[in-house]
Structure 1
């Protein structure tokens, strides 16, 4: 081998060493970057003995796909868990159960409709035992007003949670569209770099980062094409990106009330959420928020409406003469009076109120609760106390009996199918707490899986600082050897020139 060839090899070795050092330095710099994948500098020797370096990127498709899937599941579970946490304020299990002036039990049994209904029942029993006691009548009325107010407030909370979920869906759609736009540019750069043989590792890191962010909004699956490009689909199979992005559309709803139906998220004309979707999202925040908005909150609202309709039914005024006067709302009424509401009538929990005819602060009379003509004081057919006796208790006792009589409920909302009104209200609280507990546990488990997938991927494709520092030391030794070779060749060239002279 001639000196010139040896010198060329030594120079190439120094250049290869510099390239390898650059890669290792880059790895060390990215040691704390969660989105950085380790670069691998592979040294190969050509037929003429000249060493060259090729750079590749460490990857693990299976672990990365697992990370995407677990991230989507975690976001879906977290959306539902957060929504149920907000609904729990309608139960408030750490607060006092009663607003009654006669109540002496202020233990931590909550201010749920169930707790307030129990307080109302106790107040009714006390009032029935002494119907001429104005203070007991006022206490009963106060509990009735507190229960109606609680149902109003709980209904408002439900619709507020639905509205927030709808807003969050809109934000997630905006975010997903922005990410798909970023993905377009990065994907194009990767295709171009693949065709020209350029180092595309930085673009691949960025593409993975975009996919991870997108998986928070919705469940996705990907395929890689022969030219290095990638296609993205929802976890239900709808195309999000194939050479170009499909726009995701969604129209937020301005105001939510009981009975309002939120709009669907649509991709290329295909609904991916909502009852009309044949390819619904299975995971991601959009899926979780849609389930919260359209299923969980709607079920709970239905339960509140059934409690309200049960109250109107129990305390209704009926013909006391045996005649044909229609049964009408009595102590508890609503805007549709004098018609009786249907079971779980839409909007009833938001509209229920205590009849002003029984409220002295509104010009009414407490005696009407005792006598049974709250709904229509002008119609004598509804008056059970025809003698006007101050100690008349028959009507109040009948109300107590009705309150403890089993009713039939719509079980599709999740609470009990039948039982007393108090039992149904209790089953509603149990349903809410069980749903929240399950959602919290699912969210915690899903988050743990994300952490596990992240750790596994990092161990497989991330940077080990000790390993990189060891490689840097080896490269320093290699550099010294190549430099020594060049020095030797230089010395030999010098000796040769001197001999020629």
Structure 2
């Protein structure tokens, strides 16, 4: 090997040392830069004529653990989902208030029942009547405020979805643009490492918004998919998300897979080929902050609203509804006559019959005068029972026709009408026997002669549970419930329930009735409250129902907080694992720096020795 070759090899070593020193310097400078992946120099031996002739720098490698990175992104989506759910459920707890403190539904309800108990002990006392009405108004206001708080949280979720969609679009566009810039670069191009760091940062940001998986091909192009398989980024092309945000939500603002029936925003993903996917309807996003906001807006907070609406509805109907048994009709055919003159939209009558095998069935018929709401869902808990809707707007003859068509032949029952009386009887075949019939109607007057009264109203209207094509009256009732204005104007009606004959002074019938209904009476509650199930709905007093759903929400908030804490530990552990492998280790960099210093000195010494030898050779020749 000639001296000039030795000099050239030493110079290539110095150049490699300088490049490596630049890499170490960059690593040290970016040790605390989020998303920075430590780099190492890639070099190779130069061989000429079968012999080593130096070293060349090929590029840089990123010390990336792709498997841990993929796990971290998955758990990052789960962590964002759990943290967001826990945060909003904590805010919902603030809406309900701390159990046992003032300003809670439970405290307002207890003050109301305490005032009723005092009224029962001194029915005609004006001070006691005033106390009851004040407590009732406070309870109604608390229900109104709770609804307002829940709908504010839903509106916040709607706006958060809008912001998240914008952030997701920006991240997807950035990934596609970086893919385009990386097209012309090799994987070990020093300039590519910085761009890949930026691309990974954009993917990491996207993983906090939704559950994704990223796939990088041999051309260093990264494609991004949701875990459900929807492609968000493909090479240099990015899909676009759109969200039709609503300004503010009310209890009647509900998501529906049918866009014509939906009154909240939905997320549409438009693929580069023009295809459109509803990401909420197709369940295309299942984790991350976007999924959390959709779950809160459409399910968790809707269920919370259902709970307070059910309380408001039970509070109103418990005091205003009267159930009257039908008058027996001796046969044949045998059955019952029901007076339906007072039945209002949302009111119902029930027919119980047994078949030839002595199996009992109950049919509940709800007055539904909006044809667009028919048929109504069968909400019966017992599989042998049915709930149907019938349009009364055409008169009783039309009702009879509808009943005979929907129930008669299959149940071996016959329906007929005379004036306001509906007769239900067996058809004489011996296949069925009508065992009971009753009608439940809403009392409209404060002095009907019955202790029942419309104590609470839906703003200025009676609450009857009416069903229309747009919504059921129960939806959002807690935000509209108020004490009957006529009762506020005449508090004596808390005692006087009849004007002919006039209720005697000191009569406690109505006061006792109200107190007993709200303290001891048991009711059945809809499964959409989260308590019980369709086949076994929760039953109990209003107080027990209130305690149950408040406890349910408290438990949900506690569980969500624990899940979020656990998920945070998982994410932090994976982040530490990722940083250990892919982050900058200062001890390693300092060791590399010392090694480079020694290598640089050695290469420089070789050059000095070669230069000295060349000078000696030239002097000898001279």
Give the TM-score, by structure 1 length.
Answer: 0.89
Q: Distance in 2 between matches of 1:66 and 1:191?
A: 26
1:191 Cα deviation after fit: 2.2
Residue 319 and residue 234 in structure 1: after superposition, are their counterparts in 2 closer, same or farther (change >3 A)? closer
Residue 175 and residue 202 in structure 1: after superposition, are their counterparts in 2 closer, same or farther (change >3 A)? same
Q: Which residue of 2 aligns with 1:3?
A: 3
CA deviations 1:357-384 (Å, max 9, x no partner) are 222xxxx122111223xxxxxxxxxx27
Work out which of the residue numbers 232, 238, 251 in structure 2 matches 1:240. Answer: 232
CA deviations 1:416-460 (Å, max 9, x no partner) are 521111111111101111111111111111122111111010011
1:337 Cα deviation after fit: 2.5
Q: Distance in 2 between matches of 1:451 and 1:177?
A: 27
Q: Distance in 1 between matches of 2:283 and 2:142?
A: 39
1:135 aligns with 2:135: no
Q: Which residue of 2 aligns with 1:370?
A: 495
1:66 aligns with 2:57: no
1:483 Cα deviation after fit: 0.9
1:52 Cα deviation after fit: 1.9
1:319 Cα deviation after fit: 10
1 or 2, which has the higher strand percentage?
A: 2
Q: Which residue of 2 aligns with 1:102?
A: none
Alignment of 1:69-218 (within 5 A): 69-93=74-98, 108-194=100-186, 199-218=191-210
1:299 Cα deviation after fit: 0.6
Q: Distance in 2 between matches of 1:197 and 1:254?
A: 48
Q: Distance in 1 between matches of 2:45 and 2:202?
A: 37
Q: Which residue of 2 aligns with 1:415?
A: 531
Q: Which residue of 2 aligns with 1:471?
A: 592
Q: Distance in 2 between matches of 1:491 and 1:58?
A: 41
Q: Distance in 1 between matches of 2:294 and 2:216?
A: 30
1:487 aligns with 2:608: yes
1:89 Cα deviation after fit: 2.3
Q: Distance in 2 between matches of 1:115 and 1:385?
A: 38
Q: Which residue of 1 aligns with 2:417?
A: none
Work out which of the residue numbers 297, 301, 315 in structure 2 matches 1:297. Answer: 301
Q: Is the 8 A contact 2:309 2:476 kept in 1?
A: yes
Q: Distance in 2 between matches of 1:495 and 1:258?
A: 97
1:145 Cα deviation after fit: 0.4
**SS of residue in 1 equivalent to 2:495:** helix
Q: Distance in 2 between matches of 1:493 and 1:352?
A: 103
Work out which of the residue numbers 484, 498, 501 in structure 1 matches 2:619. Answer: 498
Q: Is the 8 A contact 1:308 1:344 kept in 2?
A: no
Residue 182 and residue 339 in structure 1: after superposition, are their counterparts in 2 closer, same or farther (change >3 A)? closer
Q: Which residue of 1 aligns with 2:268?
A: 266
1:388 Cα deviation after fit: 4.5
Q: Which residue of 2 aligns with 1:306?
A: 310
Q: Distance in 1 between matches of 2:304 and 2:460?
A: 22
Q: Distance in 2 between matches of 1:66 and 1:196?
A: 24
1:5 Cα deviation after fit: 0.5
CA deviations 1:236-290 (Å, max 9, x no partner) are 11110112001011110123111212222111211111xxx23431101000000
Q: Distance in 1 between matches of 2:322 and 2:539?
A: 23
1:224 Cα deviation after fit: 1.3
1:252 aligns with 2:245: yes
Indicate the RMSD between aligned Cα atoms, in angstroms: 2.2
Residue 339 and residue 498 in structure 1: after superposition, are their counterparts in 2 closer, same or farther (change >3 A)? closer
Residue 67 and residue 385 in structure 1: after superposition, are their counterparts in 2 closer, same or farther (change >3 A)? farther
Q: Which residue of 2 aligns with 1:101?
A: none
Which stretch of the first structure deviates more once superposed, 246-255 or 45-54? 45-54
1:197 Cα deviation after fit: 5.0
Q: Distance in 1 between matches of 2:530 and 2:506?
A: 42
Q: Distance in 2 between matches of 1:180 and 1:466?
A: 36
Q: Is the 8 A contact 1:152 1:349 kept in 2?
A: yes
CA deviations 1:196-244 (Å, max 9, x no partner) are 9564111111111111111111111111112110110112111101120
Runs of 5+ unmatched residues, structure 1: 95-107, 373-382
Q: Is the 8 A contact 2:5 2:53 kept in 1?
A: no
Q: Which residue of 2 aligns with 1:389?
A: 504
Q: Distance in 2 between matches of 1:9 and 1:455?
A: 41
Q: Is the 8 A contact 1:237 1:279 kept in 2?
A: no
Q: Is the 8 A contact 1:131 1:393 kept in 2?
A: yes
1:121 Cα deviation after fit: 1.3
Runs of 5+ unmatched residues, structure 2: 255-263, 271-275, 327-338, 343-441, 445-452, 467-471, 533-537
CA deviations 1:51-107 (Å, max 9, x no partner) are 12332111111100111111111111122122212211232116xxxxxxxxxxxxx
1:44 Cα deviation after fit: 2.7
Q: Distance in 2 between matches of 1:196 and 1:144?
A: 74
Q: Is the 8 A contact 1:371 1:385 kept in 2?
A: no
Q: Distance in 2 between matches of 1:272 and 1:237?
A: 11
Q: Distance in 1 between matches of 2:323 and 2:213?
A: 65
| Number of corresponding residues | 470
**SS of residue in 1 equivalent to 2:247:** coil
Q: Is the 8 A contact 2:174 2:202 kept in 1?
A: yes
Work out which of the residue numbers 302, 312, 331 in structure 1 matches 2:455. Answer: 331
**SS of residue in 1 equivalent to 2:249:** coil
1:45 aligns with 2:166: no
Q: Is the 8 A contact 2:460 2:484 kept in 1?
A: no
